[in-house]
Amino acid sequence: MPAPATQTTPPLVLSCEHATSEVPPAYRDRFAGADDILRSHRGWDPGAYDAALAFRDRFRAPLIAGEATRLLVELNRSLDHARLWSEFTGGLTWVEKERILRRYYRPYRAQIADALRAALAEHPCVLHLSVHSLTPDLDGNRRDHEIALLFDPARPRETALCEAWAAALGRRNDPPRIVFNEPYKGSDDGLTTALRTRFPADRYLGVEIEFNQRDVAGPPAAWRRIVRRSVETLEEALAQTAAAPRAAR
């Protein structure tokens, strides 16, 4: 196993927006009878938090995780996005919605921004890795890949990092199938996209990793191997990115 990441590589800040399907007590009446939905991919990202913990432990990185189901408020959407609220909370008054934003949405995003600023105070560049999982079948569209890496192709350092990460994974025995910016674009509305407007491209790398929930629900040993290889090869990719000539970044 490679040695822990050194100070020469960009430090890591982790987030997991859809870590849980938990409904806060004050809102449980609105979710009465919705247990199946909450347990499904609509309520959370199964496996994402466990994977985020593996990255945290390996890199000794800060991890900010959502405390409530995405169906309460969608932490990975902008305030003006049509899917910020679900059918369970869309009918709340604006006063009630603002209460949710003050308790769950705004503090979550502020914690991540604070962690990034703290890292950038000591390092020239930081990687923000947002950890997710996706359903293997959505509306008849089959997702056969094991890992998706989402980034903004207009930001060279993000592109270089994801290419290096995919290459490192590809060198392993029985490599996972990896796709870039599928089934979602890394530049679509989301947390990393919002943070790109606040931090410059040469200092902030915003990447989302999507694991396939088919693997999460599959043999535990195989799922652990996918996560372990993802963690180990990220270190290789970060070292390569740090060593790249500045003009290529």
Residues 11-18, mean pLDDT to the nearest whole number: 97
Q: Dump pLDDT digits (tens) for 111-136.
A: 999 999 999 999 999 999 999 999 99
High-pLDDT (> 90) share of the chain, %: 87
Residue 230 lies in a domain: yes
Q: Which amino acid is residue 35, in one-letter code?
A: D
Residues 197-224, mean pLDDT to the nearest whole number: 97
Q: What is the pTM of this model?
A: 0.93
Write down the pLDDT at residue 87. 97
Question: Using CA atoms, how far apart are residues 241 and 12, in angstroms rounded to an integer?
Answer: 13
Q: Dump pLDDT digits (tens) for 147-191.
A: 999 999 999 999 999 999 999 999 998 899 999 999 999 999 999
CATH code: domain of residue 185: 3.40.630.40
Cα 149–Cα 66–Cα 204 angle in degrees, nearest 5:
45
78: domain range? 12-248
**Is there a cis peptide before residue 4, judged by omega within 30 degrees of 0?**
no
Write down the pLDDT at residue 227. 97
Residue 4 lies in a domain: no
Residues 92-116, mean pLDDT to the nearest whole number: 98
Q: Dump pLDDT digits (tens) for 19-46.
A: 999 999 999 999 999 999 999 999 999 9
Residue 154 lies in a domain: yes
Instruction: Note the maximum CA span of the chain.
Output: 56
Residue 2 lies in a domain: no
Number of domains in the chain: 1
Residue 3 lies in a domain: no
Residue 68 lies in a domain: yes
pLDDT at 246 over 70: no
Question: Using CA atoms, how far apart are residues 204 and 130, in angstroms rounded to an integer?
Answer: 13
Residue 7 lies in a domain: no
- In angstroms and rounded to an integer, the radius of gyration of the C-alpha atoms of the chain is 18
Residue 22 lies in a domain: yes
- Residue 159, both tokens: 């592109």
> 141-142 and 137-138 as β-strands: parallel, antiparallel, unpaired?
antiparallel
